[in-house]
Amino acid sequence: MRVGVFLFHESRDPSADAQVIDEAVQEARLAEDEGMDAVFLAEHHFDGNCVYVDPPTFAAALAMATRRIKIGFAVLQTSLYHPLRMAEQIALLDNISKGRLIVGLGRGSLVNTHEYTGYQIDPASAQERFEEIEQILLQCWTQEKVVHAGKYWNFEIPMLRPRPYTKPYPQILRSVASEPSLAAQARLGRPVLMAAATARGAARNIAVYRTAARDAGLGAAAIDHAIAQSWVARTVVLAPTDAEAREVGLPYFQQMQTYRAAQSTAFEALAAKANAQPGSPVLCGSPESMMEDFSALAQTGIGGVIVRFRTGPMPAAFSGRALRLFMREIAPRIREGGFAVAGS
């Protein structure tokens, strides 16, 4: 199983933005130095929840700051973009990074409506815009002259430049946030980005994927391949001991929940639901305590896990140590292979 880090750095104080952005760059470098396979970027606007705000711009900085590690989006809020600008940006990034991109696409935030209003986008149109934009991206990257007549965009261009470095274009993954959307992508045999708080939740998602794909007539090999190209996002509070994780690290996660809930009633409802479940709403503890869950995750056959170590006002030293602990004590065991894949 591949492992990646999710850079989702919060900055509540505008005067600290520059420092936190620098710390995000340093965490990407640390991830590469520790042997991680990928670094993934989020996208949120106007609230400090994601300090670097603009993932394509930040990805260009990371492409210059690193040499080997893949750079992924989890995800670009596609409906907020002009499709031609997005196609150009991604093609340029693909060239700058020499083919290191993983392009995760989603329609836009499900909880932050102020992002839509700020960009003057009707949230009700987000899914339609998303579908049309993806169609335009593929046209621009695979055709020379592009003539498009759609619901939201109409244009004619002689050719999109630069051409993608990766042929025919960088890997595209769809973000899925519900069973129907997961099943829809499974029927097409498309790899996905998903979130799951536990290995059991990821296993349920993958069972849904396998069933929908089989019902659509896909063969076992094709299904296994799609799942092996998919990623699941996890948030952890990791420290050398369970006590330190619980007493020092967990409050940072809780402060993140409180901060975001104050900005969004939709997020407040999601957090309340998560907190109402038995046990902790986030995987919290020492490497030894987390090993069983990550081993079970590897057994599902999912291709990669994206781990968010830093939440809320957590200091860089705490999350950096967590990343090192993960790579030295957890990653070698889940990368070993030899797991019996459930349901294949």
Question: What's the pLDDT at 337?
Answer: 59
Indicate the pLDDT class of residue 342, thresholds 50, 70 and 90: very low
Q: Does any domain span residue 224?
A: no
Q: Does any domain span residue 100?
A: yes
Question: What's the pLDDT at 338?
Answer: 44
Question: What's the pLDDT at 344?
Answer: 45
Question: What's the pLDDT at 153?
Answer: 98
Mind listing the pLDDT tens digit for each residue in 126-165? Answer: 999 999 999 999 999 999 999 999 999 999 999 999 999 9
Average model confidence (pLDDT) across the chain: 95
Q: Does any domain span residue 136?
A: yes
pLDDT exceeds 80 at position 11: yes
Indicate the pLDDT class of residue 12, thresholds 50, 70 and 90: very high
Mean pLDDT calculated for residue range 273-292: 91
Predicted structure pTM score: 0.95
Q: Does any domain span residue 3?
A: no
Q: Does any domain span residue 102?
A: yes
Mind listing the pLDDT tens digit for each residue in 182-239? Answer: 999 999 999 999 999 899 999 999 999 999 999 999 999 999 999 999 999 999 999 9
Indicate the pLDDT class of residue 277, thresholds 50, 70 and 90: confident
The number of folded domains in the chain is 1
Q: Does any domain span residue 117?
A: yes
pLDDT exceeds 70 at position 106: yes
Domain that holds residue 82: 75-163
Mean pLDDT calculated for residue range 72-82: 98
pLDDT exceeds 90 at position 280: no
Amino acid at 290: M
